[in-house]
Chain A
Amino acid sequence: MRRILSSLTDGKGFDLLLVGITLIFLILLAGLPLVYNVLLSFQEVDMFNLAAFSRPWAGLDNYREIVSQPEFGLVMRNTGIFVFGSIAGQFAFGFALAIFFMAKFPFASTIRGLFLVSWVMPGLVVGAIWGWILAGDFGVLNAVLQGLGIIDETMFWKSDPALSIWAVTMANIWLGLAFNMMLLSVGLAAIPRDLYEAAELDGANGFQRFTTITVPMMRSTIGAVLALGLIYTLQQFDLFPAITEGGPANSSNVAQYWAWQWSFRIFDFAKGATVSVMMLAFVLIASAVYVWSTRAEVRG
């Protein structure tokens, strides 16, 4: 008994206790709903058996029906554009800003801090603001682009089916910019200065230093940022109801919004669950990448 007690205060027992508490929370709050969701996608669900636990087994019927929906291809394509466009934009601009703010100039860290505003603001608010920015007739974006002479006629960002998914992607890039910049800044700051000095003396120019020192030294940070970006982008929901509501004609609809529409507009909970389980597969891949890229941090 004393052995067990002392292992609780000093030894492995304490570690196990901490891990155990976390695990219980995870299982209760994340694991069970997840399992329930997966289960739902294999069942026939209607308004009458919604509260029941055992329902008729549907096998892969839900999946077959989802895939054969006319808008399925469009939604997948939009999801691809949204996810890869957002991640690429957030990462590229975030990295550029992070490098920019590494330079020592007055108020550098203050200005960098201001970027956090985009991170703090709720997606619905950001969506509403971008809704105005993107508006066809009175939007700021059109005014700016026309002022610069980049476009001649009014662009209907939200109502043109060719543009609407890009409109939401733009807003999402802005929303995730600060997060990317912060993580990448931390990674940049962790690279010792004298490595750059040594490389400079060894004859590497700025671009060569970036590719041979910065990028390889940032590999785990970059992996983590990209994986988290994928997860956050697949989670991004608020912008859709605020800007385009997935329209016009599903031209800006993405998987996560479609799943919500299935469940809470059409009240076909099984189909909603099915779409979300399909997304789960992508998130799992991203999580694996994330774990793999941060494993170096554990080893130290």
Chain B
Amino acid sequence: MTPQIEISNVDKHYGAFHALKDIDLTIPKGSFVALVGPSGCGKSTLLRSIAGLESISSGDLRIAGERMNDMPPRKRDVAMVFQSYALYPHMNVLGNLTYSLRFKGVARADAREKANQVASTIGLEKLLDRYPRELSGGQRQRVAMGRAIIREPKAFLFDEPLSNLDAALRVHMRMEVRALHDRLGATSVYVTHDQIEAMTMADHVVVMREGRIEQQGSPLDLYDRPANRFVAGFIGSPAMNFVDGTGGEDGSSVRLDALPGAPVLRLDRRIEPGRPVTAGLRPEHLFSGGETQITVPIRVVESTGSVAYYTTDTDPELMLVEQGRGKLRPGDAAPLSIAPGDIHLFDPKTGLAL
């Protein structure tokens, strides 16, 4: 797989503020990469640096093998879909779609022809004469996508393109964007703060925090083997439970000191006896192990019909997820069973996975 975008040792400073810290990221041609992380972690900054809308302070940026550090945005041949869509309000949909073709010297008739093609790919045929103010949010989003598609760019950059849509449309557009990516054989970088969006759409997920890449890998890699406590807590919904404990005497178990009765769970790996650890337990893994190992009292029950969410009456609170309607009521004791392979262990000080 040839790399389409290569980012090496990139740093970005806004005055004294260090917004991107030593970013290394290689994006293969044809892949769909998601950048996730909490608000303010530098996702947009990284994306805008690729586009050239921000200049990088040091490091190297290559697109299709060519060094782009000092290349103005219009020569980078990347297309961006903005969160605000940034449609040109004084042009109709046709004008918006064909705007970029004007500067490539494409003849008017050819541009129109191409706009028709793109419009039919994304279902805009009937809207070509409308102005952006006459479109719904979802339609505007499509125009923004169409404006990017028509250029056949080296890479698509998305900055939270779905966050202004309602939940149902968002789920639908998620699939559509991904399908479009596959059909065009495009290379896409997709910024989102919604980890579900990242997990479902991307081949490769990059988790960022405070300007740094915390971990990158395939979605299930991040889910199964989070490199640290931050990634473990960020990936997965509802979020992972963290419980303080100690390594067991036998060296292959962990004692959860923070839970009532300090229950002991078996592990499938070795651990230094007596070592303080933080155990990470995913809410959906707490009924996975077979025989009951712990019982905890339930305080709150929330049910959607297909899934039941329980909050326990312990300190720290645990979140449990059960498929189906859920048989437990507030006050009941929930029988927990956890498979040894589902227990994540982290160093309490550094947060790194053990």
The chain A residues found within 8 Å of chain B, CB to CB, are 192, 194-195, 197-205, 208, 212-213, 216-217, 219
Contact of A202 with B89 in the complex, beta carbons under 8 Å? no
Contact of A217 with B74 in the complex, beta carbons under 8 Å? no
* A197-B74 contact given A202-B103, A203-B104, CB 8 Å threshold: no
CB-CB under 8 A from A219, the residues of chain B are: 90
Return the contact of A204 from the options B51, B76, B86, B103 (Cβ within 8 A). B103
CB-CB under 8 A from A201, the residues of chain B are: 51-53, 73-74, 76, 78-80
Contact of B74 with A203 in the complex, beta carbons under 8 Å? yes
Contact of B53 with A208 in the complex, beta carbons under 8 Å? no
Report if B55 contacts A (CB, 8 A). no
A217 to B91, CA, bound (A): 10
* A208-B80 contact given A197-B86, A202-B147, CB 8 Å threshold: no
Report if B62 contacts A (CB, 8 A). no
A197 to B81, CA, bound (A): 11
Q: Could you tell me the dominant secondary structure of chain B's interface residues? A: loop
Contact of A202 with B99 in the complex, beta carbons under 8 Å? yes
| Chain B residues numbered 84-104 whose CB sits less than 8 Å from any CB in chain A | 84, 86, 88-90, 99-100, 102-104
Count of chain B residues with Cβ under 8 Å from any Cβ of A? 23
| Chain B residues numbered 59-76 whose CB sits less than 8 Å from any CB in chain A | 72-74, 76
Q: List 11 A-B contacts (CB under 8 A).
A: A194-B86, A195-B88, A198-B147, A201-B74, A202-B79, A202-B100, A203-B74, A203-B100, A203-B104, A205-B103, A212-B102
Q: For residue A215, which residue of chain B has the nearest CB? A: B90
A219 to B90, CA, bound (A): 10
Q: Could you tell me the dominant secondary structure of chain A's interface residues? A: helix
A216 to B95, CA, bound (A): 13
CB-based A-B contact count at 8 angstroms: 58
CB-CB under 8 A from B53, the residues of chain A are: 197, 200-201
* A217-B84 contact given A197-B53, A201-B78, CB 8 Å threshold: no
A154 to B80, CA, bound (A): 59
Contact of A198 with B72 in the complex, beta carbons under 8 Å? no
Q: For residue B144, which residue of chain A has the nearest CB? A: A198
A205 to B82, CA, bound (A): 20
Contact of B86 with A198 in the complex, beta carbons under 8 Å? yes
Q: For residue A195, which residue of chain B has the nearest CB? A: B86
Return the contact of B151 from the options A192, A202, A208 (Cβ within 8 A). A202
**Residue from the set A192, A197, A198, A204 with the largest chain B CB neighbour count within 10 Å:** A198
CB-CB under 8 A from A198, the residues of chain B are: 80, 82, 86, 88, 147
What does the 1/0 interface line of B15-56 toward A look like (CB < 8 Å)?
000000000000000000000000000000000000111000
Return the contact of B86 from the options A192, A208, A212, A217 (Cβ within 8 A). A192
Return the contact of B74 from the options A204, A213, A216 (Cβ within 8 A). A204
A204 to B52, CA, bound (A): 14
The 6 closest A-B pairs by CB, nearest first: A202-B100, A203-B103, A194-B86, A198-B86, A216-B90, A200-B73
CB distance from B131 to the nearest CB of A (A): 12
CB-CB under 8 A from A208, the residues of chain B are: 103
* A197-B88 contact given A202-B147, A203-B103, A208-B103, CB 8 Å threshold: no
Contact of B86 with A200 in the complex, beta carbons under 8 Å? no
Q: For residue B151, which residue of chain A has the nearest CB? A: A202
A204 to B88, CA, bound (A): 13
Q: For residue A217, which residue of chain B has the nearest CB? A: B90
A204 to B51, CA, bound (A): 14
Given contacts A199-B99, A202-B79, A203-B74, 19 further A-B contacts (CB under 8 A): A194-B84, A194-B86, A195-B86, A195-B89, A197-B51, A197-B80, A197-B86, A198-B82, A198-B86, A198-B147, A200-B53, A200-B72, A201-B74, A201-B79, A202-B100, A204-B99, A208-B103, A213-B88, A217-B90
A194 to B147, CA, bound (A): 14
Q: For residue A219, which residue of chain B has the nearest CB? A: B90
CB distance from B102 to the nearest CB of A (A): 8
A204 to B104, CA, bound (A): 10
CB-CB under 8 A from B102, the residues of chain A are: 212
A212 to B100, CA, bound (A): 11
A205 to B51, CA, bound (A): 15
CB-CB under 8 A from A195, the residues of chain B are: 86, 88-89
CB-CB under 8 A from B74, the residues of chain A are: 200-205
CB-CB under 8 A from B82, the residues of chain A are: 194, 197-198
A216 to B89, CA, bound (A): 10
CB distance from A194 to the nearest CB of B (A): 4
CB-CB under 8 A from A203, the residues of chain B are: 74, 100, 103-104
CB-CB under 8 A from A200, the residues of chain B are: 53, 72-74
CB distance from B156 to the nearest CB of A (A): 11
CB-CB under 8 A from A192, the residues of chain B are: 84, 86
